[in-house]
Amino acid sequence: MTERTGFGSKLGVILATAGSAVGLGNVWRFPYMAGENGGAVFIIIYLACVLLLGIPCMISEFIVGRHGQSNTARAYSKLSGGSPWKLVGYMGVLTGFLITGYYAVVTGWCLQYIWASFIGQLQGTPDYFKTYFAELSSDPVRPVLWTFVMLGIAYLIIEHGVRDGIEKASKMMMPTLFILLLIIVVASCMLPNAGKGIEFLFKPDMSKMTGDVFLSALGQSFYSLSIAMGCLCTYASYFSRYTNITTSATQIAIIDSVVAILAGLMIFPAAFSVGVNPDSGPSLIFITLPNVFSQAFGAIPIVGYFVSLLFFVLLSLAGLTSLMSLHEVSTAFFQEEFTLSRKKAALIVTISTAIIGAFCSLSLGATDTLVFGGKALFDWFDFITGQIFLPVVGFLTCVFIGWFVPHKVVREEFTNWGTLRSEWYARLFHIYLFLVKYICPMAILFIFLHQFGLLE
C-alpha cells in the first residue's frame, strides 16, 4: 500500500470528514424539508434512514478510498482491476467538480448577506427581503465576485495540503460552527411562543406519515451526508490503516444529524414565534429567515442585528467546509492523474470552477442566453448532479462493493485487516454486507424513481 500524506490525528479525521458532510444541506435543506414534511415524523424517519442507508453507504466509500489510497477515480480503478466499474470513480469526480461550481454561488450569497447584516441592510418588510434577494441573485457583478472570493478562500486552504490545510482549517471551523449554532438556538428558543416550534420538531403527529414523507427523508439522509460526490472517498484515502472506519462513519453521521436538528431548533422556534409558515422551501434562509429575525427581535434591535450576522457567518462556515471537500476531490484527481504540484492542481480547479460558477450565477437573471428548456444553467447543474449523478453513483457504489468486490477485501478493510476481531465486528460486518447488497441499492432506486414521479 502506497504511503501518502494523511490526517495527523483521529480528531482531524472526524472534524474534516464531518465538515465535508455538514454543509448547507444541513443548515438550509434539512429545516425546510422537515417543515414541508411534518416536522417530528420526518426527523424520526430521517434518523432511521441515516442508520440503515447513510452509514453503510459512507462505510462503502471509505472502503474504496482507503483501499485505493488515491483520488476517487484511481481508487475505483484499483479496486475494480481496471474493469468498467472504474467509470463510477470518474463519475464521482465529475459530480464533485460540477457541484463545486454552482455550490460556490450559494456560499457566495452567504458572504453578501454577512456584509449586508454587518452594515444593517437586512431590515424591512417581507417584500423588501424578497426584492433584496431577487436583485442580488440577478445582479451580474456582486454574486460573481463573492463566488470568486469563496473559491479563493477554499484555494488558500487546499493548497496547503491535508494536514496543514484541510485538517487545521477543520479544527478551527467546526467548533466555531457549533458554538455559533448553539448561541442562535438559545436566542431562538427564548422567544415568546417558541415552544410551538420545539413541539413541531419533537412531538410526532403520526397522521403525517406518508409515502412521500418517507421518501423525502430517505433522500435527505442520502444527500446530507455528502455521499456519491467523491468527498468521502477522497478523504478516506488520507485515513491511516488504523482508522476504525465503522466508528468514524457512525461518529460523523451523529455529528451531521445533531447539526441538522440544531438547525431546526434555530429556525422553527423563531418562525413560530412570529407566525411564519415553516414550509417556506429553499428561499427559507435568504428571504424568510432575515424577515423572521427582523420581526422576532424587533423589540431589541441590537440582538436581532447580532443574531442575523452570526447566522450568516454560520452559513458561510458550513458552506466553506463542504466546498473545501468538494474542491479537494478534483484537486487530488488533477494532482495525481496529471502529476502536477498541489498548488497547480488546486489553481486549475479554482479557475475552472470559478468560470462555471460565474456562468451559473449569470444565468439567474443577468442574461437570458444561459436559460435552456425553461431552466437556468444554475438549475440544470443542480438537477443533473443532485437528481441524476448522486443517486446513480451511490447505487453503483453499493452494487460494486456488495456484488463485485471480493468479500475478503471488504472484510479486511472493515475489520482493519483482522485487528478488530471481536464477535461484535463479525456480526456487524454481515449486517453491513446485507444492507449494502440489498437494502441500500433498493432504497436509492426508490429515491431515484420517486423524484421523477415514477413512484408515488
DSSP line for 187-199: HHHTSTTHHHHHH
| Max CA distance (Å), the chain | 65
pLDDT greater than 80 at residue 65: yes
Summarised one tens digit per residue, pLDDT across range 76-124 is: 999 999 899 999 999 999 999 999 999 999 999 999 999 999 998 888 8
Cell numbers 441590537 correspond to what residue? 302
Q: CB neighbours of 203 closer than 8 A, spacing ≥ 6?
A: 39, 40
Summarised one tens digit per residue, pLDDT across range 10-47 is: 999 999 999 998 888 888 788 888 888 889 999 999 99
Summarised one tens digit per residue, pLDDT across range 413-454 is: 999 988 887 788 889 999 999 999 999 999 999 888 888 877
- DSSP helix/strand/coil, 375: strand
Q: Measuring CA to CA, which residue among 240, 227, 444 is closest to residue 325? A: 227
pLDDT computed for residue 451 by the predictor: 80
pLDDT computed for residue 2 by the predictor: 41
Q: Measuring CA to CA, which residue among 311, 308, 277 is closest to residue 293? A: 308
Reported confidence tier of residue 239, pLDDT bands at 50, 70, 90? very high
Reported confidence tier of residue 284, pLDDT bands at 50, 70, 90? confident
DSSP 17: H
Q: CB neighbours of 124 closer than 8 A, spacing ≥ 6?
A: 132, 294
pTM for the model stands at 0.94
Q: How many CA atoms lie within 13 A of 17 on its CB side?
A: 33
274 — phi, psi (to 5°)?
-110, 10
374 — phi, psi (to 5°)?
80, 0
pLDDT computed for residue 1 by the predictor: 37
Task: State the angle between helix axes of 245-273 and 194-202 in degrees (0 to 180), rounded to the nearest 10.
Answer: 140
Pairing of strands 371-372, 375-376: antiparallel
Q: CB neighbours of 335 closer than 8 A, spacing ≥ 6?
A: 71, 341, 342, 345
- Spatial separation of the C-alpha atoms in residues 106 and 92, rounded to whole Å: 21
* Cell triple for 323: 466546498
- Spatial separation of the C-alpha atoms in residues 456 and 445, rounded to whole Å: 13
449 — phi, psi (to 5°)?
-65, -35
pLDDT computed for residue 84 by the predictor: 96
* Whether 25 contacts 223, CB under 8 Å: yes
Q: Measuring CA to CA, which residue among 414, 71, 449 is closest to residue 230? A: 71
* Whether 313 contacts 26, CB under 8 Å: no
Q: Measuring CA to CA, which residue among 132, 129, 172 is closest to residue 153? A: 172
- Percent above pLDDT 70 for the chain: 98
- The amino acid occupying position 245 is I
Q: CB neighbours of 156 closer than 8 A, spacing ≥ 6?
A: none
pLDDT greater than 60 at residue 306: yes
In this prediction, residues 53-77 reach a mean pLDDT of: 96
* Whether 66 contacts 237, CB under 8 Å: yes
Cell numbers 442562535 correspond to what residue? 184
* Whether 365 contacts 138, CB under 8 Å: yes
pLDDT computed for residue 385 by the predictor: 92
pLDDT greater than 80 at residue 282: no
- Spatial separation of the C-alpha atoms in residues 226 and 203, rounded to whole Å: 28
- Spatial separation of the C-alpha atoms in residues 239 and 376, rounded to whole Å: 39
Average pLDDT of the chain? 91
- Spatial separation of the C-alpha atoms in residues 70 and 286, rounded to whole Å: 38
Q: What is each CA distance from 344 to 45, 114, 151, in whole angstroms? A: 44, 31, 15
In this prediction, residues 126-142 reach a mean pLDDT of: 92
The alpha carbons of the chain give a radius of gyration, in whole angstroms, of: 21
Exposure letters 271-281 (e unless 16+ CB within 10 A, then b)? bbbbebebebe
pLDDT computed for residue 27 by the predictor: 84
- The amino acid occupying position 426 is A
Q: CB neighbours of 358 closer than 8 A, spacing ≥ 6?
A: 144, 147, 148
Summarised one tens digit per residue, pLDDT across range 214-236 is: 888 888 887 788 899 999 999 99
* Whether 331 contacts 162, CB under 8 Å: no
DSSP 342: H
* Whether 112 contacts 286, CB under 8 Å: no
* Segments in 38-159 forming alpha helices (H): 40-49, 55-68, 72-80, 86-118, 126-138, 142-158
The H or E element that residue 376 is part of is strand 375-376
